[in-house]
Amino acid sequence: AKEEGRDRYAMFDEEMREAAVQSLDLEADLRRAINHRDFVPYFQPITRLDDGQVVGYEALLRWQHERRGLLLPAEFISLGENSGLIEQVDWLLYEQVIEQVARGGEGYVSVNVSPRHFRSPDFADRLLGLCDKHGADTTRLRVEITEVALLDDAPRTLRMLRTLRQHGVLAQLDDFGTGFSALSYLHRFPISALKIDRSFIAGMGEDGRPESLALVRAILALASTLGIDTIAEGVETDEQRAALLELGCRFGQGYLLGRPAARIGGLVTA
């Protein structure tokens, strides 16, 4: 039994070492990928729930890894955040998205902005500068921020959002309902839409959690009071679409309405 214990310990040790080496490798890979610009935006449509009309797209980060193929954010975002590399990755992505917007087309394209960016005082100017450089219509660009950004450094975030809005860039509040959702702050910020987190939409069906429906209803009532648009995330079934419409939610995003793709409509973008 003692032998066995030692073997098991050795095995555990080996696994730990491998995990550490792998994450080191991945960080080195990430640095190299930044130099090679191996990131591409995928675009997922945001549609009107009544007639399916596309009103915009969310740009979603993908890493074209030289050996491992296309990687999703879940596979490297936390590494990117911990190593402080995510901001560089984001800027590479934003520039591609802005180039895409400059090519023309209809509807808006939203980009994900992590709270880290709001700590850098020149974020808004830099984003607007890229639009200027590429001749992109700023009214077709939107930012998605989370509630954390509103709480973290409220005065700075407010200034940033105001600057962006003055130049036509609207802000949408991402993953709404998962953060602190202190309703008192919401009306103080220039937010054009709430994106209702996927977990609530998933819970709306017959086999879901009963409180989800009530929460979605409450979020929609709040948004309506504040005159803010609502986008349901993770709409996967027609049942969800119908229920959301009936509750008064106007917009949706999800596999039922369109998967993320490397192209917008018929245009290849990457």
Interface contacts to ligand C2E, rule CB under 6 A: 44, 60-61, 72-74, 77, 86, 90, 93, 112, 114, 174-175, 234, 236, 253-255, 260
Residue 236 C-beta: closest distance to ligand C2E, Å: 4
Q: What angle do CA 6, 11, 15 make, to 5 degrees?
A: 145
In the list ligand C2E, Ca ion, none, the entry touching 264 (Cβ below 5 to 8 angstroms by class) is none
Q: What angle do CA 163, 167, 170 make, to 5 degrees?
A: 80
Can you point out the beta strands (E) in the chain? 39-48, 54-65, 69-71, 108-112, 141-145, 170-176, 193-196, 229-232, 251-252, 263-264, 267-268
Query: Based on CB atoms, which residue is closest to ligand C2E, 166 or 265?
Result: 265
| Residues 213-252 contacting Ca ion, CB under 5 A | 233
CA 211 to chain centre: 25
Residue 175 C-beta: closest distance to Ca ion, Å: 4
Span interacting with Ca ion, options 67-75, 129-137, 184-192, 215-223, rule CB under 5 A: 67-75
Site string for Ca ion, 149-188 (x = CB under 5 A): -------------------------xx-------------
How far is residue 204 from each of residues 104, 178, 197, 249, measured CA to CA in Å?
37, 16, 12, 13
Residue 86 C-beta: closest distance to ligand C2E, Å: 5
Contact status: 29 vs Ca ion (CB under 5 A): no
Instruction: Pick from 30, 46, 49, 60 the residue near Ca ion by CB under 5 A.
Output: 60
Class of residue 125 by CB neighbours under 10 A (exposed 0-12, middle 13-18, buried 19+) = middle
Q: What is the largest CA-CA distance in the chain?
A: 71
In the 8-state DSSP scheme, what is residue 112? E
Residue numbers of the site for Ca ion (CB under 5 A)? 60-61, 73, 112, 144, 174-175, 233
